A and B are shown apart, each in its own frame.
Chain A
Amino acid sequence: EVQLVESGGGLVQPGGSLRLSCSASGFTFSGHSMSWVRQAPGKGPEWVAYISSGSTTTFYADSVKGRFTISRDNVKRSLYLHMNSLRSDDSAVYFCARGLTIPTRYLDSWGQGTLVTVSS
């Protein structure tokens, strides 16, 4: 069974930093691209960042470019999102999601999400 478990969310002050982690099991992690998607309360999902299976390619939403960094460790079967210079509008539930094998930019398995709250 595919499992994605996020952790690392919490309350952080504006301007602060946080690192989210996603632990994967039940599939060949190194064979799939991964993404982070966030969802503010009452809103639709917003794609945040993408990383290819071998970490050679990354893409970011303009709203987080230069502040967030996506990375992965295929040996540890883990995905990360380093978030700096956090703002109140970054508050959301953050999901890690697996890309389909082919085509890769659809998200066929999701974690349960971790809540990030940016507030003073």
Chain B
Amino acid sequence: EIVLTQSPATLSLSPGERATLSCRASQTVSSYLAWYQQKPGQAPRLLIYDASKRATGIPARFSGSGSGTDFTLAISSLEPEDFAVYYCQQRIDWPLTFGPGTSVDL
């Protein structure tokens, strides 16, 4: 199975700062990678799919880039509601797999 690793495990930032999160795949996933946001007690929410396409209703401050094995999620200017855990997920092959997550902390 394709293993996804995320770095850093924790990112400590303040509102207004830029966040850059990384996801690396154990083998190429082409551009078939998504990013999700999860807040405590809630289900994950799809932010980005196919590496760079924003899902419906996702603000423009969220952007994704990358292809092959290396991907980045950027949040241009953190809002208070953006402090959460972020997961990447690949869809190129079964089983679908998620990364271990990056916690963006205040």
The number of chain B residues with a CB under 8 A from chain A is: 25
Cβ-based interface call for B34 (8 A):
yes
| CB-based contact B49/A103 at 8 Å | yes
Any chain A CB within 8 A of the CB of B52?
no
Nearest-CB distance from A83 to chain B (Å)? 17
A106 and B91 contact, CB distance less than 8 A = yes
Q: With both chains docked as a complex, state the minimum distance between the C-beta of B6 and any C-beta of chain A, in angstroms.
A: 9
* Inter-chain residue pair count (beta carbon < 8 A): 59
A44, A47, A60, A111: the one within 8 Å of B99 (CB): A44
Q: CB distance B50 to A103 under 8 Å?
A: yes
Complex CA distance for A97 and B42, rounded to whole angstroms: 13
Residue ranges of B at the interface with A (Cβ–Cβ < 8 Å): 1, 32, 34, 36, 38, 42-46, 49-50, 55-56, 87, 89, 91, 94-101
Closest 5 A/B residue pairs (Cβ)? A110-B43, A105-B91, A47-B96, A106-B49, A108-B46
